[in-house]
Amino acid sequence: MKFLKRKTFAAVLASTLLVLGACSSNTTNSNSQGASNNPGASNEPAATASADPVTLTMLVSGAKAAVGEDFELETLPRLVKEKFPNVTLEVQKLPDEQYYTSVKTKLAAGEGPDIFLVFPNMANMGAIEVAKAGYAADLSGMSFWDRVSESAKNDMSYEGKPYAVAKGMDILGAYYNKSLFEQAGITEVPKDWPSFLAAAEKLKAAGITPIVMGDKDPWVIQFGMYQLSANSVYPSDPDFDKKLQTGETALTDEKWVKTINQYKELYDKGYVASGSLGMASAQAMQQFVDGKAAMIFTGTWDLPGVTAAGASEFERGFFSLPGNDAGQPVYTSAATAAGYALNANSKNLEVGKQIFEYLYDGESPLFQAWVESNPSISVFSGVELKNAIFQDVLTNIQETGNAFYFSNQMWPAGVSDVMQSKFSEIIGGKSTTAEDVAKAMQDKYTELYKE
């Protein structure tokens, strides 16, 4: 859902990806290193510091796995128990909105869970805020950091110390239906904005719904918007968000107006399935897998959903929505994913750290299960890209470094909500303009931003 509450910096990101690419041939090396660093890496059950039974609580967000074992609710507690027989992990998983309510209330009361989910940098439940408030434990002493990419570590850091371990890196893009593209006579993936519009027009002319979006869950509006801002805002002004903080620029700048207008164009021209405001994201995804629409904008995390079996069989592809003008390179929207943090005030902090050492040791059954269950692109060295569908986009980022973070990760939480609710008015056919949306966003930014 609100996976977009993350931030990262393009430059660091790109460099890490290069490192990652280089490391993937290096598996054995990093594994042996892991074993030597980590006393708990053998598969013998290891007793924790004290062998008394301890119970740890864990609160995470997300939807329960529809089929099979849920990693967080089932696999994780089971494998932790196998390794540390005296440790019981009690896990509660809530939908995103409910997660924010529940975890913040508990932390505020000093009753926070021992392990919880933290988002990168300034986002809602972002690492900076959680660290500043003293809720998350400093993880700098952990042994696994040399295997984690620099940008993933930085995005979870405050004053140089890491406070959470990212699940991976997420990329926003357009999943597309290759059969429908062929049917409409589109021979290659669009590389710039005019060719994207042309492709959408071809699909529409062929009687195919070009794009389906579940705008009843308003956060999906971010999925298209940030891909466009990665092309229309940041390439010409990489420090845009820094200038925003100093008041040197504003979200009412023509770059953002252009971004919003680009996205608006897709709705104005009828490329997005009508009635999207009444359709939830899960239903939109179902329409896509049933072959009723050619594209859907979302991120790497939705891979299980968009590749689920539907009424129609077809090959899926993935590309970055090209918001760039003709002749300009495409920029991708990519950022560090959320990750687990330990509660600094937990009585069981030491046990929690031992679990983290085991979970992130790079080779334990628990690490394997974690990687396996996790659709994000791993930020651990030595883990190969699991899903070939992302290869092209990933290669492009690695070769060119052309990527920017999700815009909202540099905004105070709340600005993106205003963007969504104002843009919904455009979708709903009100007379709201891109300028109105930008102004509402800037007003909210001014209200919420604190040095």
Footprint on this chain of another protein (rule: CB under 8 A): 57, 59, 63-64, 66, 73, 90-95, 97-98, 100-102, 104-111, 113, 124, 129, 132-133, 135, 214-218, 275-280, 282-283, 285-286, 308, 310-311, 412-414, 417, 421-422, 424-425, 427-428, 430, 447-448
Length of the chain: 451
Minimum CB distance to another protein, residue 80 (Å): 14
- 121: tokens are 């940098």
Minimum CB distance to another protein, residue 209 (Å): 12
**What span, in angstroms and rounded, lies between the C-alpha atoms of 262 and 255?**
11
For another protein, the closer CB: 392 or 436: 436
Minimum CB distance to another protein, residue 102 (Å): 5
Minimum CB distance to another protein, residue 289 (Å): 8
Minimum CB distance to another protein, residue 385 (Å): 26
Give start and end residues of each alpha helix (H) in 74-122: 76-83, 96-108
Beta strand spans in 247-303 (E):
293-299
CA quadruple 315, 316, 320, 322: dihedral sign: positive
Is residue 188 a contact partner of residue 182, using CB atoms and an 8 Å limit?
A: no
For another protein, the closer CB: 101 or 368: 101
Minimum CB distance to another protein, residue 248 (Å): 24
For another protein, the closer CB: 132 or 242: 132
451, with CB counted inside 10 A (0-12, 13-18, 19+), is exposed
For another protein, the closer CB: 190 or 218: 218
Find, among 318, 233, 228, 232, the residue nearest to 267 by Cα.
228
C-alpha dist (Å) from residue 7 to 4, 89, 342, 408 = 8, 30, 20, 7
Is residue 109 a contact partner of residue 96, using CB atoms and an 8 Å limit?
A: no
Is residue 228 a contact partner of residue 263, using CB atoms and an 8 Å limit?
A: yes
For another protein, the closer CB: 150 or 443: 443
**What span, in angstroms and rounded, lies between the C-alpha atoms of 122 and 130?**
9
For another protein, the closer CB: 149 or 416: 416
For another protein, the closer CB: 189 or 427: 427
Q: Reduced to 3 states, what is the DSSP secondary structure of residue 151?
A: helix
Neighbours of 422 (CB within 10 A): 22
For another protein, the closer CB: 37 or 283: 283
Minimum CB distance to another protein, residue 392 (Å): 28
What values do phi and psi take at 341, rounded to 5? -125, 160
Minimum CB distance to another protein, residue 115 (Å): 11
